[in-house]
Amino acid sequence: MLSLSCPGVSMSKKAFDSGQLASCRCSWPGARAAPRRQRTPCVCFVASPATQPGLAAIDVPPQTIVTTASVPERISVSSLLEVVSGDLLNLNNNLKSVIKDFASGEIKQASTLFDCDVTLDDYLLKSYYKTASLIAASTRSAAIFSGVGTTICEQMYEYGRNLGLSFQVVDDILDFTQSAEQLGKPAGSDLAKGNLTAPVIFALQDEPRLREIIDSEFSEPGSLGTAIELVHRSGGIRRAQELAKEKGDLAIQSLQCLPRSEFRSTLEKVVHYNLQRIE
C-alpha cells in the first residue's frame, strides 16, 4: 500500500514529472544531499511511463527528495493518496463481497440439506459463495494492484472463480474416494449431514434408490454405506471428475490474457496440481 512515514519530506515536482512516484519508509537525516553510499533503500510503489505499476525495491536518490520548506511547488500527501484511492476502494469492495458471500453460502447450504431436488447450478452457486469467491477476489485484487487494465482484472477473476469451483468439486470427490485417515474426517461425512455435493447430484439422476435413502435421512442402519456404494456405482464420481476438469480448463483459458512467463506457468501448475488429487 502507499504510505508515507518521512515527516516533512515530499517528492519534488521534477521527480513526479519523470515518472518516479514513491512512498518511502525511510529515515531522512536532513535537507542536505547525502553521498551515494548513504542513500536509503526502501520498498516503494513505483509508477513509470515505461513500465506497469508494481512493487519494486529502489534506491531513492537524495536529489529527488527534498524538505517541504525548500520547494514551494511540491506533491502533497493527498495527491499521492489519490493515485491509489481507486484501487483501495476496489479492494475494499472485494473484501466486502467475500464476507457477504461466505454468509450467503452457509445459508444456502443449510436451506438445502437432504434436498434431493437440489440442482447442479444450486451446488455450483453454493460452492462459489463458500470457496471460489475468496480465490476469485484474491486473484482480481492481485491484478488490481499490478496496475493492469479492467479486462485483465476480470480475466484473473474468472481464473480464480473457476479454480475455486474446480477445487471444491475435487474436495467433494475425495469425500467418497479417500479413507478417514487421509481425509481427517469420516468418509462420506458431507452426505451424512445431508450436504449433497456434485457426485451425489449426478448419482441421483440414475439411482432412484439413492433418493429414498437420502429422504429417510439415513434412518436405517447401514443406509449411509449403501448410499456411498450407489454413488460409486452410478458413475457420479466419474461425472464429477469431468466437471472438475472442465472448470480447471476454463481457469487456464482465462490466463491467455497474460504473456507467457514463469508466473503464468505457475498459475497453470496450480490448476494441474488440484486435478492431480483425483487422478
Walk along the chain (279 residues) and give the pLDDT tens digit of each residue. 333 334 343 444 444 333 433 333 343 344 344 444 343 443 333 333 334 444 444 444 544 444 444 444 555 556 545 555 555 666 667 778 888 888 999 999 999 999 999 999 999 999 999 999 999 999 999 998 888 999 999 999 999 999 999 999 999 999 999 988 888 888 899 999 999 999 999 999 999 999 999 999 999 999 999 999 999 999 999 999 999 999 999 999 999 999 999 999 999 999 999 999 998
Please, are residues 160 and 201 in contact by the beta-carbon 8 Å criterion? no
What cell does 49 get?
511511463
Cα four-point dihedral sign 22, 27, 31, 32: negative
Whole-number pLDDT of residue 243: 99
At the topology level, CATH places domain 84-276 in: Farnesyl Diphosphate Synthase (1.10.600)
Q: How many CB atoms lie within 10 A of CB 232?
A: 14
Distance of CA 118 to the CA centre of its chain: 27
Please, are residues 89 and 135 in contact by the beta-carbon 8 Å criterion? no
Which residue type is seen at 163?
L
Whole-number pLDDT of residue 86: 58
Whole-number pLDDT of residue 85: 57
Closest CA to 230 of 216, 210, 246: 210
Render the burial of 5-30: b for 16+ CB within 10 Å, e for the rest.
Answer: ebeebbbbeebbeeebbbbbebebee
Whole-number pLDDT of residue 195: 97
Whole-number pLDDT of residue 74: 55
CA distance linking residue 62 with residue 41, whole number of Å: 11
| Residue 61 DSSP class | -
**Coil/strand/helix, residue 230:** helix
What cell does 28 get?
531522512
Whole-number pLDDT of residue 79: 54
Which residue type is seen at 224?
L
Numbered ranges of CATH 1.10.600.10 in the chain: 84-276
Residue 71 — φ and ψ, nearest 5°?
-125, 110
What cell does 240 get?
464429477
Cα four-point dihedral sign 177, 179, 185, 186: positive
Whole-number pLDDT of residue 102: 87
CA distance linking residue 152 with residue 269, whole number of Å: 19
